[in-house]
Amino acid sequence: MNVENYRESLKDKKRIVIKIGSSSLIHEETGELDLYKLEKLVRALKDLKNRGKDVILVSSGAIAVGKSSLNLRGRKLTLTEKEACAALGQAQLMTIYQKLFAEYGQLSAQVLMTKYTILDDLSRYNARNTLEELLKLNVIPVVNENDTVSTYEIEFGDNDRLSALVCALIKADLLILLSDIDGLYTDDPNINSDAKMISVVEKIDKKMYHMSKSTSTSDVGTGGMTAKITAAEISTHSGADMVIANGANPDVIEAITTGKEIGTLFLADEKEAFEITNYLKD
């Protein structure tokens, strides 16, 4: 395989999962939603749909939006406060997504999951069928963890992992993780000015986990670089390519899916014995 020209092949992906992190949706200074960015995101996703792709959005932000609405910003939340924030924020977030998608005549639907949805055979089967049906009906599913009921024992932990599991569940061929970093670096770019961004990762090895240590810069959201490498492992082993890119400008979605060299691309590395339940946190 010619790695140089591989980016071109991203044009032909049919089923694409896009994950956006809380830090990419929220104004850092105020904790309020960045509506301008949300609009651009929705337009980019609708355009992907118009290009004939199956599009699934995994969006964080429920807790952050609820926290801001309840004026709890700057507070360390208890578990029940978090769950209450999510109950409020998820509905608020979904209202905005549905409104923005509706401006383009696009239907969007909410799908909330917990770890048990993937672990339990029947729930997993149901979740897959529902997602497949929504795609068949030309709806864009908007997925999040069901934070309102996800106590520690049943939580995925972060939406990077959740998006990779969704990617594996519905056999998507591309996962795009939009975050507050440009890609995977050889070292923490905030500390080491010689750190270089890696354009393509052909195989994930232990060294990657070492490189990924403590490179998350955001204080909203939960997934650092290590979570992204785990997501890369899940998605590539399930047979999908994965790209990590900066979500500061949602136009990167168009750039990535038309073959431009943006962010870090992890190449599909399908494992015959792939078992989705093996990739859940204990």
Q: Return residues touching ligand GLU (CB under 6 A).
A: 21-22, 60-64, 86, 144-145, 147, 158-159, 221-223
- Quick one: 10 or 84, whose CB is closer to ligand GLU? 84
Dist CA 13 CA 235 (whole Å): 14
- Quick one: 10 or 42, whose CB is closer to ligand GLU? 42
Q: Shortest approach of ligand GLU to residue 160 CB, angstroms? A: 6
Q: Shortest approach of ligand GLU to residue 189 CB, angstroms? A: 21
Q: Shortest approach of ligand GLU to residue 181 CB, angstroms? A: 14
Dist CA 101 CA 46 (whole Å): 7
Dist CA 248 CA 7 (whole Å): 21
Contacts 24+ apart (CB under 8 A), 128-132: 128/169, 128/170, 131/56, 131/166, 131/169, 131/170, 132/170
- Residue 176 CA, chain-centre distance (Å), reads 7
Q: Shortest approach of ligand GLU to residue 155 CB, angstroms? A: 9
Q: Shortest approach of ligand GLU to residue 63 CB, angstroms? A: 3
Asked if 127 and 111 count as a contact pair (C-beta separation under 8 A), the reply is: yes
- Quick one: 10 or 21, whose CB is closer to ligand GLU? 21
- Residue 158 CA, chain-centre distance (Å), reads 9
Q: Shortest approach of ligand GLU to residue 22 CB, angstroms? A: 5
- Quick one: 10 or 167, whose CB is closer to ligand GLU? 167
Dist CA 260 CA 12 (whole Å): 13
- Asked whether the CA dihedral 277, 154, 209, 26 is positive or negative, the reply is positive
Q: N- to C-terminal Cα distance for the chain?
A: 36
Dist CA 145 CA 111 (whole Å): 8
Q: Shortest approach of ligand GLU to residue 141 CB, angstroms? A: 15
- Quick one: 10 or 65, whose CB is closer to ligand GLU? 65
- Quick one: 74 or 105, whose CB is closer to ligand GLU? 74
- Quick one: 233 or 269, whose CB is closer to ligand GLU? 233
Instruction: State the residue for tokens 């959201």.
Output: 221
